[in-house]
Amino acid sequence: MPFIRTSVHQSTSQQQRQGIVDGIHQALVDSIGMPEDELFNLVTEYESSQFWCSRTFNGIARSDRVVVVEITLRRGRSDAMKRELYANVARNLESNAAVSPKDVLIFMHENDYSDWSVGEGKFAMALVQQVGEDR
């Protein structure tokens, strides 16, 4: 169950925010095989005076409306899966929400089941998906 924190400029419309959430979610489904019903994305907004970033870091010309996507999930995805995920997020945000790929920053935080409680205060290790029996 990935948990996403997405930060957008305060002027981002509700329709654009929905497109951003949908684009990130679909990229996770398509790239790492996340189930459709695992949608947890906390969207927060920032004012121009609250977020500074280099407009030219790594040779990329960014605007003042950067979208920051932080993905926290259980470790175990390959670098190839992550590359595909990042590319799909950027592509989806451009097509779903008119966000320039140059304005998409993505950060991945990986951890283990023991670092989660996903409801009722229960230790997530007790809720790990059960593997089917050999037949």
Q: What is the pLDDT of residues 13-26, one digit of tens each?
A: 999 999 999 999 99
Residues 50-108: tens digit of each pLDDT: 999 999 999 999 999 999 999 999 898 999 999 999 999 999 999 999 999 999 999 99
Q: 126: pLDDT confidence band, cut at 50, 70 and 90?
A: low
The distance of Cα 33 from the centroid of its chain, to the nearest Å, equals 14
SS3 95: helix
pTM to 2 decimal places: 0.87
Nearest alpha carbon to residue 70 among 2, 1, 5: 5
Looking at residue 83, its amino acid is: R
The residues with which 74 forms a beta bridge, in sequence order, are 111
Classify 41 as helix, strand or coil.
Answer: strand
What per-residue confidence (pLDDT) applies to 119?
A: 78
Residue pair 64/114 in contact (Cβ under 8 Å)? The answer is no
Q: How confident is the model at residue 135 (pLDDT cuts 50, 70, 90)?
A: very low
CA distance 4 to 110: 12
Q: Is the pLDDT of residue 118 over 80?
A: no
Tokens 């966000």, located at residue: 99
Query: What residues does 107 pair with on adjacent strands?
Result: 70
Whether 127 shows a pLDDT value over 70: the answer reads no
